[in-house]
Amino acid sequence: NLTAECLLRTLGAEKKNDGSTQAGLDVVLEFLKTRVGKVNGLKQVDGSGLSKYNLINASQLATYLFSISKESWSKCFINTLPTSGTNGTLERFCDGANTTGRVFAKSGSMERIKCYAGYVKDKQGNLNPFAILVNNHDVPNREIVKLIEGLMELCVE
């Protein structure tokens, strides 16, 4: 999270000669507009994503990930993401026979929040972007994770 905050300020310093959080946020918003188009309802107040005032919907996030998948550098980006059943925060996520090594994503969770966004590789080898944001739930996170793992199994098929 500290790294994300520092990167945000560095963006502001590099692109706007202003190393403030706000300058970094302005750079990110301008970039997102070129990728997502309409950013109605989107709000970012920090670099880490920990603020409850950050707002993005699943459609905006998936559209952004789709746009990245079309870039020449997309494989480099995807390779930075944790891989299901293999490493990082996804080491124990989707670790079944059909899904291990097929989900490349970031996860996020806070009290009553569980989110995953990234790519799932289907049996034909296609990388499909996805974003699942579960907010304000009142069941154990593990139950939410099991449901999302079931969705990933369907996406692999």
pLDDT value at residue 130:
98
Dihedral (CA of 96, 99, 105, 108) sign: negative
- Spatial contact of 11 and 28, defined as CB atoms under 8 Å apart: yes
Tens of pLDDT, residues 6-39: 999 999 999 999 999 999 999 999 999 998 888 8
For the purposes of burial, counting CB atoms within 10 Å of the CB of 100, is it exposed (0-12), middle (13-18) or buried (19 or more)? Answer: middle
Tens of pLDDT, residues 72-95: 999 999 999 999 999 999 999 999
Tens of pLDDT, residues 35-59: 888 889 999 999 998 898 999 999 9
Question: Six-digit token pair at 24?
Answer: 């970094």
Domains of the chain, CATH where assigned: 1-56 (no CATH), 58-157 (3.40.710.10)
Nearest to 54 by CA among 21, 11, 95, 87: 21
pTM: 0.90
- Spatial contact of 27 and 44, defined as CB atoms under 8 Å apart: no
The DSSP secondary-structure symbol of 11 reads H
